[in-house]
Amino acid sequence: METQYWKLRKDEPLESQLEPAAKLLRQGEVVAFPTETVYGLGADGLNGEACRKIFAAKGRPADNPLILHISEMDQIRPLASDLSPMAEKLMAAFWPGPMTLIVPKSEIIPEVVTAGQETVAVRFPSDPVARALIRLTGRPLAAPSANKSGKPSPTNAQDVLQDMEGIIGGVVDGGACDIGVESTIIDTTGKEPVILRPGGITEEMIQEVMGAVELDPGLVSPDQKPKAPGMKYRHYAPKAPMFLVEGPEAGLGVIRAAVMAEAWGLKVGVLALDETVQHLPHTARLVICDAGKDMAALAENLYTELREFDRQQVDVILGEGVPTQGLGLAIMNRMRKSAGHNILVYDQGLFRKQSGQVPEFLQGMVVE
């Protein structure tokens, strides 16, 4: 299949540039497009056959539901059999924006979209390109991240093409995404809102509006089964094994581990914040990705840098953990999954194994 590519231009009307992509979507094809979080792999969300093409393109497990994207707030109503006061309050506070709501589904939703569940996930993005494309298509768009399942999500069109060229109908290039991690998913079908996947709308922001919010136990412990089916799969994974260093001295731990790995003759990818990067030696065998100075920059750069390590063909990746307050909860959720929960804690000059595997180059230096 030939994948059409549209680079959007600021000096031309958005609708006329997007009409060819909307036409493909109306014809039941799959088109990737930007949102404020990551690029989505879109298809007509009320066309079961079109949605099956998303699963085929991604290699996505059939039990992993899709999120429906809408262009106006009220478009959720025909998609849901009921909207609780909790859902209405969250919609008023955070839509449009990086928040997905789990609501009881209506009869018009194809079973492939919900993976046979009685609920549906709906999101109203703030990105003007996404909203214009949905509006032109005239249907809600089912759109998971536009990557092969298991790989880091794409935050620019070139990374989409790397995974999807020749597989899908087209790619709309609207530039880099602003937030860089997927939307917050909130279950609104119980007594309290429950975060099933952390994202750009933080736990603290939800608490401020709702007074109370729960975290799915699967987010707190890797031993707990997550409620959201997609969260049980390994996600965001680069090709090289990744190890995450957490704790009060995480930056120092990353530096020490990087020096040890390089001494073993390994090509080492390092993902760390500004303050840590400044103290790393710059050598040929260290591929250093500066994640930025704060949580927002780290979230925006995370997937791009993980893909860069793949391009650089590193042997091992070391990531610097951050506190889980605010956006840090979403970042650490993605980084821990990227590392397959290979986590070390560094404190007072000592490494301690928290979970997963210990890298060979640190054997004998880690307290079990």
Cβ neighbours of residue 321 closer than 8 Å, sequence gap 6 or more: 244, 245, 246, 247, 250, 332, 335, 343
- Whether 45 and 141 have beta carbons less than 8 Å apart is answered as yes
- Whether 104 and 122 have beta carbons less than 8 Å apart is answered as no
**DSSP assignment, residue 75?**
G
- pLDDT for residue 367: 86
Q: What tokens does 4 get?
A: 């059409």
- Whether 246 and 344 have beta carbons less than 8 Å apart is answered as yes
- Whether 205 and 120 have beta carbons less than 8 Å apart is answered as no
The burial of 66, by beta-carbon neighbours within 10 Å (0-12 exposed, 13-18 middle, 19 or more buried), is given as: buried
The burial of 275, by beta-carbon neighbours within 10 Å (0-12 exposed, 13-18 middle, 19 or more buried), is given as: exposed
The burial of 227, by beta-carbon neighbours within 10 Å (0-12 exposed, 13-18 middle, 19 or more buried), is given as: middle
Which amino acid type is present at position 325?
Q
- pLDDT for residue 319: 97
pTM attached to this predicted model: 0.93
- pLDDT for residue 290: 85
Interval 3-47: pLDDT, tens: 999 999 999 999 999 999 999 999 999 999 999 999 999 999 999
Nearest Cα to Cα of residue 136 among 42, 5, 213, 11: 42
- Element spanning 44, H or E: strand 40-44
- Whether 299 and 183 have beta carbons less than 8 Å apart is answered as no
3-state secondary structure at position 213: coil
Pure H helices in the chain: 14-26, 48-58, 85-94, 111-114, 128-137, 157-164, 203-210, 217-220, 250-263, 274-277, 295-312, 328-338
Tokens 């849901």 belong to 80
Per run of 10 residues, the mean pLDDT along the chain (length 368 residues) is: 96 96 98 98 98 97 96 98 97 98 98 96 98 98 96 96 97 96 96 96 97 90 62 73 96 96 96 93 90 91 94 97 95 94 95 95 89
Q: What tokens does 58 get?
A: 């991604």
Nearest Cα to Cα of residue 131 among 86, 179, 174: 174
